Amino acid sequence: MEAKLTKVAVIGGSGYTGLELIRLIHAHPRLQLTYVTSEQYAGQKIRECYPFISPSINLRYQPLDIKDAFDAADTFFLALPHGISLALTPRLRKKEKIVIDLSADYRLKNLDTYQKIYGKTHSDKALVSQAVYGLPEIYRHQISSSSLIANPGCYATSIILGLIPILKAGLVNNAAPIIADSKSGISGAGRKAEATYLFTECDQNIKPYKIGKHRHVPEIEQELNLIGQSEIHILLTPQLVPIRRGILSNLYIPMRQNSPSMEKIWEIYQEFYHKEPFTLLSPLGSIPCIKDVYLSNFCRLGLTFDQRTNTLVVVSTIDNLLKGAAGQAVQNLNIIMGFDEKMGLSDAAPYP
């Protein structure tokens, strides 16, 4: 007997993340894409706007009509700019819809911090307390029983996954900050026309930006403080590099004195992640690169240790649009629905 499909809507389906959601949902054996919005392209067929979309997708972009949306789908992916989900999510939850929000609107538990970072007064304190941070490697059990997921940011995903095991082991010297040197492809900024992202500005260039004050830092520290049960500080240097997609974070972690051998540290990471379907640890002596995760939902980690400075270096790399956004969102929905967590996400990516 054929399984009933879960009807899914993508609210904000014309940006990079929204388009990835469309692609993943359409290919998923248990999901049915039924409603997609775009104010810019309302009324136009998705595949006419984006010819790479499968010809079997005959949907048109819709202007958001909340009543139509209620009737069209049971699950909603919100791929919207920060602040917009706040008006929509309470109405969806009142109708008992599953909401996976890919903005930052439900990630930060401290609403004063949200206002400071995003310049908006948060209007939904009640649902913030209910939202589960959608990083399965930490919160799988909570995700499975939730209907409101705050999907993590892309820098946050790469950095937190690189740090969880060593923080849980209690081996980090908290007297100094952890340095995150993170490089991101241009798609991380979203699909927008700004001079910074023009080809002639990006090509043959690497551009650091928002050093120490990127908006993902409070999100990262919030989660790391919970993991390490102590105050953790991150110094993040994000850098725009001339590639389409991908994030590579070099994490420099000051260690306590008399820290264990590199082999023992590797075993700590291996023990933590050996059952995880999408976070993979490289063998000692092997360091991952962005090509290793391109077009996949994997996070790959590599470890090395600098004895002279007593610093553990973790290299963490993800595809920012998949494990850093749309892929992780589908992974979260798989968990909520009781599907195989890898469903629709485990196909091998093309190479080169």
**Which residues, listed in sequence order, are joined to residue 304 by a DSSP beta bridge?**
313
CA angle 329, 87, 48 (to 5 degrees): 55
Q: Is 154 a catalytic residue?
A: yes
- pLDDT tens by residue, 67-98: 999 999 999 999 999 999 999 999 999 999 99
What's the pLDDT score for residue 352?
79
From start to end of the chain, where are the E strands? Answer: 6-11, 31-37, 75-78, 98-101, 132-133, 148-150, 178-184, 207-208, 234-240, 247-254, 279-281, 299-306, 311-318
Mean pLDDT of 325-346: 98
Per-residue model confidence (pLDDT) at position 192? 75
* 32 contacts 2 by C-beta, under 8 angstroms: no
pTM: predicted TM-score of the whole model, two decimal places: 0.96
Q: Rounded mean pLDDT of 218-231?
A: 93
Tokens standing for residue 121: 């007064």
Query: May I ask the CATH architecture of the domain 155-318?
Result: 2-Layer Sandwich (3.30)
Q: Which residues contact 286 (CB under 8 A, 6 or more apart)?
A: 302
C-alpha to C-alpha distance for 78 and 92, rounded to whole angstroms? 11
Per-residue pLDDT of 39-75, as tens digits, reads 999 999 999 999 999 999 999 999 999 999 999 999 9
Q: Is the bond preceding residue 352 a cis peptide, omega within 30 degrees?
A: yes
Element (H, E) at 118: helix 111-118
Q: Are 341 and 35 in contact (CB under 8 A)?
A: no
Exposure string of 17-50, with b = 16+ CB inside 10 Å and e = fewer, is bbbbbbbbbbebebbebbbbbbeebeeeebbebb
Q: Where are the domains of the chain?
A: 6-151+325-337, 155-318
- With tokens 């360091």, the residue in question is 287
Dihedral sign for Cα atoms in the order 146, 140, 21, 102: positive
Q: How far apart are CA 216 and CA 231, in angstroms?
A: 17
Which tens digit of pLDDT belongs to each residue from 4-13?
899 999 999 9
Is the CB of residue 221 less than 8 Å from the CB of residue 234? Answer: yes
User: What's the mean pLDDT in 242-271?
Assistant: 96
Contacts of 217 (CB under 8 A, 6+ apart): 234, 236
Q: What percent of the chain has pLDDT over 90?
A: 91
pLDDT for residue 2:
63
User: Which one-letter amino acid corresponds to residue 146?
Assistant: S
Name the catalytic one among 154, 202, 289, 299. 154
Given a contact cutoff of 8 angstroms between Cβ atoms, the answer to whether 143 and 334 are in contact is no
For the 6-151+325-337 domain, the top CATH level (class) is alpha beta
Cβ neighbours, 10 Å, residue 12: 22
Q: What is the CA radius of gyration of the chain?
A: 20
- Environment class of residue 254 by beta-carbon count within 10 Å: exposed (0-12), middle (13-18) or buried (19+)? middle
Give pLDDT, residue 48. Answer: 95
